[in-house]
Structure 1
Amino acid sequence: MTNVAPAERGATRIADRVVAKIAGQAAREALEALPPDAMAPHATVVVHHETARVRVSLELDYPCDIGGQCGAVRRHVAERVGALAGMEVPEVAVQVERLHLAQAPGAAHGRTQ
Structure 2
Amino acid sequence: MTAAPEAPADAPPGERGETRISDRAVARIVARAAGEIEESGGLGRSLLGVSVPGRRAARTEVRVDGHIVTARVALSVMYPMPVRDTARRVRENVRERVEALTGLTVRQVDVDVAELKHPPAHERTVL
Query: Structure 1-normalised TM-score?
Result: 0.79
Q: Which runs of 5+ in 2 are unaligned?
A: 1-7, 43-52
- Alignment pair present for 1:30 and 2:37: yes
| Residues in 1 aligned to 2:123 and 2:35: alpha-carbon distance in whole angstroms | 25
Q: Which runs of 5+ in 1 are unaligned?
A: 108-113
Q: What is the Cα-based RMSD across aligned positions, in Å?
A: 2.7
- Alignment pair present for 1:17 and 2:24: yes
Matches within 5 A, 1:1-113: 2-4=9-11, 6-7=14-15, 9-32=16-39, 34=41, 38-101=55-118, 105=122
Give percent identity, aligned residues only.
36
| Residues in 1 aligned to 2:11 and 2:107: alpha-carbon distance in whole angstroms | 33
Asked whether the equivalents of residues 75 and 114 of structure 2 are also in contact (C-alpha less than 8 Å), the reply is yes
Distance 1:2 1:16, change over 3 A: closer
CA offsets 1:14-57 (integer angstroms, 9 cap, x no match): 01000000010000002336489544212221000011101111
Asked whether the equivalents of residues 41 and 75 of structure 2 are also in contact (C-alpha less than 8 Å), the reply is no
- How many residues are matched? 106
| Residues in 2 aligned to 1:63 and 1:106: alpha-carbon distance in whole angstroms | 13
Asked whether the equivalents of residues 31 and 69 of structure 1 are also in contact (C-alpha less than 8 Å), the reply is no
Structure 1 SS opposite 2:36: helix
